[in-house]
Structure 1
Amino acid sequence: MTSKRWVRRPPGSNWGDFGPDDQLGRLNLIGPAQRLAAMREVTEGITFSLSLPLDVPRQPALNPRRQPPRLQPAMHHGAPYFSYALGQIVPGATDVVSDDSVTLFPQYSTQWDALAHVCQQFDADGDGVAEAVGYNGFSVAGDAPQTLADYRGAQALSVASAAAHGVQGRGVLIDAHRRFGQVRHAVGYDDLMRLLEDDGVEIRSGDILCLHTGFARLAASLATTDDHALLRTSCAVLDGTDARLLQWITDSGIAAIAADNYAVEERRQALPPGAQGALLPLHEHCLFKLGLPLGEMWHLSELAEWLARHGRHAFLLTAPPLHLPGAVGSPANPIATV
């Protein structure tokens, strides 16, 4: 199969399977039947917000490029438009109005990665030269911007497609924290299969897999003055170097993965000597090859505890990103209904 953008697709990818112009990826697997099945998981009508406060972590220790949100009042004629008495400008008015503004790094806290977030150098057009391309052969930015004036946002594969589709389906929780605690552990295929079997977890096509490691709860427990360095070495992560794990993600039919940790997988800082490839192989496999979005820093602990007490693992998950064209990530306030 070919398209206007590519004549070669990466090994193990699904480029073109959902159409030559598809930018939604595996979220295509969530349709009316999957949403109805997810709604049948609701028996109690209890909801859980799966978002951290968006200023957590309270130090930018995990990624120096990203900073916590800065909330400010909107300005009106040089003055803060906050707790503003309209009687100052409209005689007799009794209204008191507050407006604000926010400077936000969309991937600082609870978030979705858009498919544009991680692309690869790959010879998609078969000319012998590797180009920067994303899922389904799309170019996200053309030439990389050299200055702020050059920046136009993601020209393809932004969060807008997922936002318009609406991310709502059957969430399924895997509790790695109950097995490994706060110890750093790379969860490979064998570990995952054991967790699924021991907990009786059923995975269906179109499910959103939620991995609980306890990391978000740990991050939320740290005050601004606490040492945040332990976050870099705490709690379970998926082992993106495990080829069998990556193949299971392909074969399972899941539509997305959300974890309560940072980056879902182990964030490598270097490749093995002589190696060439992705520093983030699970990101490469999911975002680039499969069009499978990744959620990070979701607050799953309270939900995990409730599900364990009631012998359950599935729930209705409603988790759309912000409809912000051009953005390569988005804050989220996912809601689990049980």
Structure 2
Amino acid sequence: MAGRGVLIDYRAYAEAKGIEYSPFSSFRIGVADIEEVAQYQGVTFRPGDILIIRFGFTEALGAMTPEEQTKALSTGYICGVDGTIDFAKWLWNKHFAAIASDTMAVEAMPPMVDGKAQPFTELVLHQWCLSLFGMSLGELWDLKALSEQCQKSQRWSFFLTSSPLNVPGLVGSPPNVLAIL
């Protein structure tokens, strides 16, 4: 996959606006939040864009000891985008080619329906994006260096290429991603 990548740096935005959240909570952002950050960064979306959202999850995880990681991950709470049908429709209507983040599942966990936690089998974006749209999901991307470079250049779009392993029947793979600003 190759195309125009767009970084929505929610972590940097939250820090600038005094918004506090834990990457190890069910904190979630929706369409309005993403559009607000895009406006703040001066980003416009184009059909075929690869949407990348930074929450700071991999950074927080990497700063922990193995014991701390086990404790933080054992709760089952991970921040992410609001995995709803409306969010999936927004992705489709914006004609994104793919969506990726530095979180475990792109969408916040556990999935919520009417304010109630659901089993992980109910992750909406996984069902809609992968099965219905053919839209790839990228998880656990290390976005810190990309964020720093985007901040430095005040530019949040770039050429992005990803070449996962070519193995028949493979369901997941290291993405081998390269961003060129």
1:80-229 aligned at under 5 Å gives the runs 167-178=1-12, 179=14, 180=19, 182-183=21-22, 184=25, 185-229=27-71
Unaligned runs of 5+ in 1: 1-166
Deviations 1:147-179 (A, max 9, x none): xxxxxxxxxxxxxxxxxxxx1211110011121
Structure holding more helix per residue: 2
Q: CA deviation at 1:230?
A: 2.3
Aligned positions, number = 167
Distance 1:216 1:227, change over 3 A: closer
Contact in 1 for aligned 2:83/2:125 (Cα 8 Å): yes
Question: What CA RMSD, in Å, does the superposition of the two structures yield over aligned residues?
Answer: 2.2
Distance (whole Å) between structure 2 residues aligned to residue 226 and residue 202 of structure 1: 38
User: Against the structure 1 CA distance between its residues 270 and 313, is the aligned structure 2 distance closer, same or farther, given a 3 Å change threshold?
Assistant: closer
Alpha-carbon distance in 2 for matches of 1:210, 1:222: 24
**Normalising by the residue count of structure 1, what TM-score does the alignment of the two structures yield?**
0.46
Computing the radius of gyration from Cα coordinates, the structure with the larger value is: 1
CA 1:240–1:182 in 2, change beyond 3 Å: closer, same or farther? same
User: For 2:158 and 2:168, how far apart are their aligned partners in 1?
Assistant: 29
Q: Tell me how far 1:336 sits from its aligned partner.
A: 1.2
TM superposition shift of 1:267? 2.6
How far apart in 2 are the matches of 1:246 and 1:291?
12
Deviation per CA, 1:90-146: give whole Å up to 9, x if none: xxxxxxxxxxxxxxxxxxxxxxxxxxxxxxxxxxxxxxxxxxxxxxxxxxxxxxxxx
State the Cα deviation string for residues 161-209 of structure 1 (Å, max 9, x = none): xxxxxx1211110011121454342111221121111111121111111
Counterpart residue type for residue 137 of structure 2: L
Show the counterpart of 2:101: 259
Shift of 1:239: 0.3
Decide whether the 8 Å contact of 2:83 with 2:111 is kept in 1. Answer: no
User: TM-score, structure 2 length as denominator?
Assistant: 0.82
| Residues 206, 320 of structure 1: alpha-carbon distance in 2 compared, 3 angstrom cutoff | same
Partner secondary structure for residue 331 of structure 1: coil
**SS of corresponding position for 2:122:** coil
Q: Structure 1 residue 227: deviation in Å?
A: 4.2
For 1:226 and 1:265, the matched residues in 2 are separated by 22
Looking at structure 2, the residues matched to 225 and 289 of structure 1 have their Cα atoms a distance apart, in angstroms, of 38
| Counterpart AA for 1:337 | I
Counterpart contact for 1:181–1:214, Cα < 8 Å: no
Q: Which moved more, 1:181-190 or 1:304-313?
A: 181-190
Runs of 4+ in structure 1 displaced over 4 angstroms? 269-273
Identical columns (%): 35
Distance, in Å, in 1 between the alignment partners of 2:92 and 2:70 is 34
2:171 corresponds in structure 1 to: 328
Q: Which runs of 5+ in 2 are unaligned?
A: none
- From 284, 306, 313, the equivalent of 2:156 is 313
Asked if the contact 1:208–1:256 (Cα under 8 Å) also holds between the matched residues in 2, the reply is yes
Letter matched to residue 208 of structure 1:
I
User: Counterparts of 2:31 and 2:72 in 1: how far apart (Å)?
Assistant: 26
Alpha-carbon shift at residue 269 of structure 1 (Å): 6.4
Q: Distance in 1 between matches of 2:95 and 2:175?
A: 23
